[in-house]
């Protein structure tokens, strides 16, 4: 990336987004390449170090993150190093032995945003900004507010009124952000914020900021590392503003360019049916043009109709041979409850990945021998209302559940009120067992 031409990170000439490039990495051959074995050893060793920077699952890969003049400016909450869980139940149901979930909800503020935020907030601090800002469906604002507080910076959050999960709003408040709820949707919030940052000296921390993507590429390194540097065949990612799919594609591409892995995985993007502009774009123009939609989904994190990074995401899908498809509200709710039965809690926006995989498997697009990784983006406690509504049977309409009533009933676990006696409790257990 050259000089930051505009505060909204768009090119003066073509209006497209910037991307951080490291000239020369792709051309490196033979002895010119970094010593792959030494790097892999160093990155693993750092996990045992007592240095804060080494404990971070982002900064322990800092050789591939040359974005700061001094790593002393890094703002870290020990993000990353999230677990890669095997999914025994879903594996069995889908006939895919090697099925895993990379749970990015296990980050300090409960979502994948922390990996990008540590990177971009560090840049903000190094450049001496006093204010940072973002528009958000909730998770970006939670992460930004936390990292700004750690860095000693002021933060401004613009969120769509009444359309984000309470857990996320609570985080922004707790970490001291100036939080404005606007009577518009996410797309409207982002549009307004772009105007604000052109008027005032504020560092924009939405994922249009290319340094966010630098941090968000690191789960690709962790996934490769966890699989002993054999990349999975297929990575499935939810799609909202479409930065994450772009970032992970970049991460795997850089590993391959530097000779650390032999190939890149297929990367597929799943959207909610009511917020599926990329699915439409891929189907109608192979990702050449995108027509914004008015977005509707209960998976509020991905309720986005005019995604900023759609060109980058379309390129990643095309270059890796991935798919782009959408899933219904019922499919999302069922997949989330199924992940729950594996002991894994996630946000509805994360569950689109399992719902998408089920569809791809039914279409014969995924081979049982493939190694598949689902990227779970947020923690279940972010949006407890959604989960409770599902289990109480008040989440979905009759129209949405039509034909799937039995399946849904089998997954629902409402909390019951019972008498405070041993007999009543034992009877409740018996009823469930039976």
Q: Rule CB under 6 A: say whether 133 interacts with ligand F0G.
A: no
Classify strands 234-238 and 266-272 as parallel, antiparallel or unpaired. Answer: parallel
Q: How far is the CB of 243 from ligand F0G (least distance, A)?
A: 4
Q: Which of 106, 242, 272, 360 binds ligand F0G (CB under 6 A)?
A: 242
Using rule CB under 6 A, residue 138 touches ligand F0G: yes
| Calpha distance 282→423 (Å, rounded) | 58
Place of tokens 């009511």: 274
Q: CA-CA distance, 268 to 247, in Å (whole number)? A: 13
Q: Is 353 in the site for ligand F0G (CB under 6 A)?
A: no
Q: Does residue 142 contact residue 109 with C-beta atoms inside 8 Å?
A: yes
Angle at which helices 243-257 and 218-226 cross, to 10° = 60
**Interface with ligand F0G includes 301 (CB under 6 A)?**
yes
- The least CB distance from residue 402 to ligand F0G, in Å, is 27
Near ligand F0G by CB under 6 A: residue from 115, 155, 171, 241: 241
Do 393 and 412 meet the contact criterion of CB atoms below 8 Å apart?
A: yes
Residues 91-120 that bind ligand F0G (CB under 6 A): 111, 113
Among 115, 118, 122, 139, binds ligand F0G (CB under 6 A): 139
Q: Which of 82, 115, 122, 140 binds ligand F0G (CB under 6 A)?
A: 140
**Residue closer to ligand F0G, measured from CB, 58 or 258:** 58
**Among positions 349, 357, 360, 395, the unique one binding ligand F0G when judged by CB under 6 A:** 349
Q: Are 216 and 375 in contact (CB under 8 A)?
A: no
Among 109, 136, 155, 320, binds ligand F0G (CB under 6 A): 136
Strands 84-86 and 99-103: antiparallel
Enumerate residues 169-228 that contact ligand F0G by CB under 6 A: 207
**Distance (Å, whole) CA 232 – CA 370:** 8
- Judged by beta carbon, residue 129 or residue 186, the one nearer ligand F0G is 186
Using the contact rule CB under 6 A, the part of the chain among 11-19, 94-102, 138-146, 362-370 near ligand F0G is 138-146
Residues 48-87 as x/- pattern, contact with ligand F0G by CB under 6 A: ----------------------------------------
Based on its alpha-carbon atoms, the radius of gyration of the chain, rounded to whole angstroms, reads: 22
Query: Which residues, other chains included, contact 151 with Cβ-Cβ below 8 Å and sequence gap of 6+?
Result: 75, 121, 122, 124, 125
- Distance in angstroms (rounded) separating the CA atoms of residues 308 and 424: 54
- The nearest distance, CB 269 to ligand F0G, in angstroms, is 8
- Is residue 268 part of the contact set for ligand F0G (CB under 6 A)? no
Asked if residue 20 lies in contact with residue 119, where contact means CB atoms within 8 angstroms, the answer is: no
For residue 283, give the H/E element and its range.
helix 277-285
In the numeric block, which tokens belong to residue 416? 């019951």
Kindly list the residues in this chain that would bind ligand F0G in the complex (CB under 6 A): 111, 113, 136-140, 207, 238-244, 301-302, 347, 349-350, 377-378
């Amino acid at each position: 990336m050259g000089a930051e031409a505009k505060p909204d990170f768009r090119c003066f000439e073509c209006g497209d987004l910037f991307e951080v490039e490291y000239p020369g990495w792709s051309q490196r051959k033979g002895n010119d390449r970094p010593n792959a074995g030494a790097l892999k050893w160093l990155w693993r060793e750092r996990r045992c170090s007592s240095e804060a920077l080494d404990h971070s699952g982002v900064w322990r890969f800092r050789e591939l993150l040359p974005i700061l003049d001094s790593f002393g400016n890094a703002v870290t909450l020990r993000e990353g190093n999230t677990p890669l869980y095997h999914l025994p139940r879903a594996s069995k149901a889908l006939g895919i032995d090697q099925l895993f979930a990379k749970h990015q909800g296990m980050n300090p503020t409960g979502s994948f945003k922390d990996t990008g935020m540590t990177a971009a907030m560090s840049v903000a601090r190094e450049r001496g900004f006093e204010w940072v800002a973002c528009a958000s469906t909730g998770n970006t604002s939670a992460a930004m507010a936390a990292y700004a507080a750690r860095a000693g910076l002021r933060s401004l959050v613009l969120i769509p009124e009444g359309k984000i999960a309470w857990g996320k709003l609570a985080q922004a408040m707790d970490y001291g952000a100036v939080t404005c709820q606007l009577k518009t949707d996410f797309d409207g919030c982002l549009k307004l914020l772009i105007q604000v940052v052109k008027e005032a000296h504020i560092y924009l921390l939405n994922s249009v900021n290319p340094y966010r993507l630098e941090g968000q590429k690191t789960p690709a390194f962790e996934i490769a590392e966890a699989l002993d540097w054999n990349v999975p065949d297929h990575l499935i990612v939810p799609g909202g503003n479409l930065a994450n799919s772009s970032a992970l594609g970049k991460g795997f591409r850089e590993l391959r360019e530097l000779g650390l892995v032999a190939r890149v995985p297929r990367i597929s993007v799943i959207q909610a049916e009511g917020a599926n502009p990329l699915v439409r774009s891929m189907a109608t123009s192979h990702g050449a043009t995108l027509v914004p939609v008015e977005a509707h989904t209960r998976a509020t994190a991905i309720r986005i109709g005019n995604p900023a990074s759609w060109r980058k995401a379309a390129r990643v899908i095309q270059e890796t041979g991935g798919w782009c498809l959408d899933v219904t509200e019922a499919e999302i709710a069922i997949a989330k409850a199924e992940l729950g039965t594996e002991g894994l809690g996630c946000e509805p926006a994360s569950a689109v990945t399992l719902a998408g995989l089920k569809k791809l498997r039914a279409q014969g697009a995924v081979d049982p021998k493939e190694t598949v990784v689902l990227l779970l983006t947020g923690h279940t406690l972010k949006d407890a209302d959604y989960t409770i509504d599902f289990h109480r049977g008040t989440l979905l309409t009759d129209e949405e559940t039509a034909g799937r009533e039995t399946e849904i009933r089998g997954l629902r676990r409402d909390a019951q009120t019972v008498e405070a006696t041993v007999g009543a409790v034992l009877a409740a257990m018996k009823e469930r067992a039976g």
